[in-house]
Structure 1
């Protein structure tokens, strides 16, 4: 049985309003962002099929998951699982998450967020030994870990529920989505991503169990819904766009810690 991954970019946060707001630590959603969540909740057609909801532990992604997929959460005993590997790329204050203790105070009492994976150091983007320092190598490694983790989550579900497909909703960030999907089509340096707020796309795993990269492939239905009959980029065009974007951001950001920042 296939595992379907429905990737969602978070709703508008206060940091999206102006570059000056990038200095805000772990910002909340704007009123428009909450309206975007309500719109996604109304229009997402697969609530009844969702088997898991996972999200970056930043506040804007957790709130996007809670608000947009409330029908799933209220009709079952499901929770939003906070996954540190899904956090955003950059070391800006707006992209550095809150402490596990602060998240537990804010999200723990309602019981709708599982924070067991959020441990001390998950928001460390400076220490040389941290897996979250935004270097090319570490970003690609955690994107791979996230894909493998979701593939295993789907496998376990399908083993326990024969004949039922796993549908995993993953709420994450615009910059990281390009690493997660290995798709650079539409990437724009000025806003850091080719994904709109609350945009969602559906994926399958492209290879078999032996695929160590656990590569994702957008489903034909998802592609048609958003792009019609338009053709996607060739592999060469993807690589050229990726290299150009990385080079430009490296020049503008410079060095951070043990490597170069490639997020915005």
Structure 2
């Protein structure tokens, strides 16, 4: 059975309002952002099928997940394997700006709780998860490291789906993942619509559905492919980028990373 991964960009945060707000540490959702979540909760068609909820550990992504998928969390007949949002550091945002740097684990624990009734599972959020500036940090905005953690995230999601399917023969896994506009391009390996200056081609609370490519690959990429229904819903009969065009867009993003942060290349490997 396939594992379906429904990828969602977070709702509007205060850092989305103006460039000056990029200095806000781990900002909250705006009132409009909360309205966007309410709308997504009403219109997302797979609430009843969801088996897992996953979110970046930043506050705006956790709250987007809690608000947007509240119907699945509270439904008594929900298919959710665990009634908790799993916070996954690998799907945090790209940049080291304060707005894209998460809070310390103790701060998150105080806000979202760590007891047996916690709605957010923070067990994967350890010390150093929000370090994007140390030279050897796996979360630094370096192209190779961004691609490596996107790979780790895909492999983790694939394993999550396989574990569910093994325990529930004949049932599909449906995993909703709330993450960030910039990182979504790394996670999907799809640069279509990417605007390097804006940092993404995804709108707030935009969602797309994916499944894993069946064939195993020697690099362990665990590649995702957008479902035909998802593509038709948002693009109709439009043609996807060619492989060459994808590579050109990736190179543009790498150049932007180098220009912005001065470390588009992983010089620590030299």
Q: Shorter-chain TM-score category?
A: over 0.9
Distance in 2 separating the partners of 1:69 and 1:208? 31
Distance in 1 separating the partners of 2:160 and 2:215? 15
The corresponding residue for 1:160 is 167
Range with greater deviation from structure 2 (122-131 or 88-97): 122-131
The corresponding residue for 1:243 is 251
The corresponding residue for 1:49 is 49
Instruction: State the superposition RMSD in angstroms.
Output: 1.7
TM-score w.r.t. the length of structure 2 is: 0.92
- Give 5+ residue unaligned stretches, structure 1: none
Q: CA deviation at 1:209?
A: 4.2
The alignment status of 1:80 with 2:85, answered yes or no, reads yes
1:79-98 C-alpha deviation (Å, 9 max, x unpaired): 10000001000000000000
The corresponding residue for 2:103 is 98
The corresponding residue for 2:151 is 144
Q: CA deviation at 1:244?
A: 1.8
Range with greater deviation from structure 2 (101-110 or 115-124): 101-110
Q: CA deviation at 1:241?
A: 1.3
Q: CA contact under 8 A between 2:141 and 2:257: conserved in structure 1?
A: no
Q: CA contact under 8 A between 1:57 and 1:97: conserved in structure 2?
A: yes
The corresponding residue for 1:183 is 190
Report the secondary structure of 2:166's partner residue: helix
Q: CA contact under 8 A between 2:210 and 2:225: conserved in structure 1?
A: yes
Pick from 114, 117, 120 the counterpart of residue 124 of structure 2: 117
Q: CA contact under 8 A between 2:144 and 2:265: conserved in structure 1?
A: no
Distance in 2 separating the partners of 1:194 and 1:9? 10
Pick from 126, 131, 136 the counterpart of residue 129 of structure 1: 136
Q: CA contact under 8 A between 1:126 and 1:257: conserved in structure 2?
A: no
Distance in 1 separating the partners of 2:171 and 2:205? 27
Q: CA deviation at 1:134?
A: 1.1
Map 1:52-67 → 2, pairs under 5 A: 52-67=52-67
Q: CA deviation at 1:204?
A: 0.6
Q: CA contact under 8 A between 1:89 and 1:139: conserved in structure 2?
A: yes
The corresponding residue for 1:226 is 234
1:117-155 C-alpha deviation (Å, 9 max, x unpaired): 001110011122321111011101000000000000000
Q: CA deviation at 1:257?
A: 11
Q: CA contact under 8 A between 1:126 and 1:256: conserved in structure 2?
A: no
TM-score w.r.t. the length of structure 1 is: 0.95
The verdict on how the C-alpha distance between 1:16 and 1:259 changes in structure 2, with shifts beyond 3 A counting, is farther
Report the secondary structure of 2:202's partner residue: coil
Range with greater deviation from structure 2 (53-62 or 209-218): 209-218
